[in-house]
Structure 1
């Protein structure tokens, strides 16, 4: 009995340090964290789940605090209450760690320090704790009148760090650049800082900071000399820029580029739970969010669903003729299989994607014979080595699909050609899924 006692004492002390009020008994389910997830997506998923669970109506109630709401339903005469508090990804982890939230909504992966902090309770990197509920593109926004249509990540870094201060320096009008950024509690900010800025190029002090994606986008749409970043669901009336990374072509975020995570500023949206210790209501909501119906609500909320669809991509002049011939009778599914960093092991999202591909084939009355897996490697010094790595990645996915009940899928490798990121970018090591056109 000593271990549970120490565990409870740990939580009590941590709670005292953070001076967070006790909320655990106020509601049947507590979801805390990202504004990107919590503003629209999480409430929509909760509503769908409660409607399915209770076969009744769900009421929404506002609270005295901004960016919070409560959803209420009745099951067999008993009130079910779910609180969604969207004050930033970091706040979600803190409340989960002290048992004041059942689900942590996050627009960034758990940090190593966070994983370690709760490692005695659960493994946040495990399949039962880490749940990718949607894919989002970090939207780079300017005013509709701005003549610039694309920008590299390197230029973006110089703009937001203040090294470039006037639009005329990058092909725009002779006017000062005004910066709009999310606040430092936001997972959107963490993602931008990780993917765009670095220690040598911090955010310039002149940037206006926002807790809300929508408010930031609305202000950008009213300021002709502005540039800002927000979640893809918050583009609203602003203009969206195409973004390039390294020598890869500039891409705008859309259904294919974001769902496949080829877009340089794509990111995963997460819900984290404490593994098997999560309450049944939390587990049920997670399963609903990952289901085809839940992913439909993801799309309706303005994010990118993980339900695969077939798309005929536009292949520009940068695509080799050999690849065009290889895929000429195929469409591409909006899913890429990716691997844990530095490993050949499929990541947590990929395990779900195996089942989604299987479901797609069943739903559209297609077979494994219609699929083609194409593996890619990051840049290698030796072309033969790159080809071998790309084929091994495709073979790894083929075996996993076989284990999931989709046997003997055709596969090939395309070496280190057609990168989607700069040299060394993990996104280059991927397996694309193609399906024969009808």
Structure 2
């Protein structure tokens, strides 16, 4: 009997180890509804996995994917898409291996999860795509655009009728995502909190972007905000922030993050992340992964050229550049209060370098143009914008790129207002142009 028990004890680890390799991803509904399942399936097919199956999970907005890898091991990937904040909570409770987020981690969340490592480190905070919070109305609504100030007044219930905005329609019906949503958190930070407002109590709330879109396209009096990937027939409004021009969430303006409600899509990995978690993040960053990001309606990070039409309001040297060169789709941005690139910027150095290598333009074909926020001291904005461009030049030089020219445009051509930190950070950018 003792021998039998001993034998069972010795076999127990082998039995436990024979279970499927599991990866648990929790968080953003924007990402988890379709993008994350598509990335997981793409990764499995790229790894020549077989018996790949996808099924609904135990609750709505949950997905279970199973497969057998090339080594014959059983794989199980659980995706729960109940909102960004639920991903960080699950990561802290040991219920998730990866947190999917449609907004950056907050200071409080980073502090609460510090036992998992520095979640703002480049290896932990991985931007896998770009999105925009699109403000939508019924297709028959004639309104063309709104400012962020007007948006705040509308969703705070201060502007209650469409007639106050110059169009007919009667009472305004507010539709929004729920409190757990990164889409809502982004809108709250960039619009409501920035204007000192709170969401009106009468707003209807929904867990998914699709539910908001469905409500708006069937209600002539409705207005809502959702992921760009979920517009589905609604009319999208142009948005202006501060004294910057109104912009639609066109893919080029989202890729450069100039559109005022642009946002990043993240995977957050703890310091001791599972190999499967790193593998998923790396696949999402790859060319194949970025193609899936684009196929799912989001904006990929693939570097492409953009032709910019010279405009009368542009500074003369910038207008001259627009006539002779093309702008790359990526803008470099920085850590708050610093000339150090943020986590996305560090990866963008590699992407820009690879683009220039493929195009045969590593030496003397790239121009860096820095921009900044308004400063009280004359000349300071121009100086700081040039210093940021110089910082990008140094990073590119380490990667083997010889930049032709560096210039600083100061606070010219703003893409956001300067009254709030998020607007100042958006204005602090470096563009890349190529001849």
TM-score above 0.5, yes or no:
yes
Equivalent residue of 1:434, what SS? strand
Q: Distance in 2 between matches of 1:144 and 1:363?
A: 42
Query: Post-superposition shift, 1:61?
Result: 1.0
Q: Which residue of 2 aligns with 1:164?
A: 159
Q: Which residue of 1 aligns with 2:433?
A: 434
Task: Work out whether 1:121 is the aligned partner of 2:116.
Answer: yes
Structure 2 gaps, min length 5: 1-18
Q: Which residue of 2 aligns with 1:244?
A: 240
Equivalent residue of 2:120, what SS? coil
Q: Distance in 2 between matches of 1:253 and 1:83?
A: 32
Task: Work out whether 1:371 is the aligned partner of 2:366.
Answer: yes
Deviations 1:184-230 (A, max 9, x none): 11111111100010284211111111101012112101111110000
Distance 1:217 1:26, change over 3 A: farther
Task: Work out whether 1:68 is the aligned partner of 2:89.
Answer: no
Deviations 1:308-331 (A, max 9, x none): 111113454443344211331111
Q: Distance in 2 between matches of 1:58 and 1:317?
A: 56
Q: Distance in 1 between matches of 2:74 and 2:127?
A: 29
RMSD: 1.5
Task: Work out whether 1:208 is the aligned partner of 2:207.
Answer: no
Equivalent residue of 1:401, what SS? helix
Q: Which residue of 1 aligns with 2:286?
A: 291
Runs of 4+ in 1 over 6 A off after TM superposition: none
Q: Which residue of 2 aligns with 1:343?
A: 338
Q: Distance in 1 between matches of 2:259 and 2:185?
A: 17
Task: Work out whether 1:358 is the aligned partner of 2:353.
Answer: yes
Q: Distance in 2 between matches of 1:398 and 1:428?
A: 19
Q: Which residue of 2 aligns with 1:268?
A: 264
Q: Give the number of aligned pairs.
A: 411
Task: Work out whether 1:50 is the aligned partner of 2:49.
Answer: no
Query: Post-superposition shift, 1:370?
Result: 1.8
Residues 100 and 266 of structure 2 are in contact (CA less than 8 Å); yes or no, is this contact kept in structure 1? yes
Distance 1:327 1:316, change over 3 A: closer
Q: Distance in 2 between matches of 1:85 and 1:211?
A: 12
Query: Post-superposition shift, 1:147?
Result: 0.7
Structure 1 gaps, min length 5: 1-24
Q: Which residue of 2 aligns with 1:41?
A: 35
Equivalent residue of 1:54, what SS? coil
Query: Post-superposition shift, 1:63?
Result: 2.0
TM-score scaled by length of structure 1: 0.91
Structure exhibiting the larger radius of gyration computed from Cα positions = 2
Query: Post-superposition shift, 1:307?
Result: 0.8
Residues 51 and 57 of structure 1 are in contact (CA less than 8 Å); yes or no, is this contact kept in structure 2? no
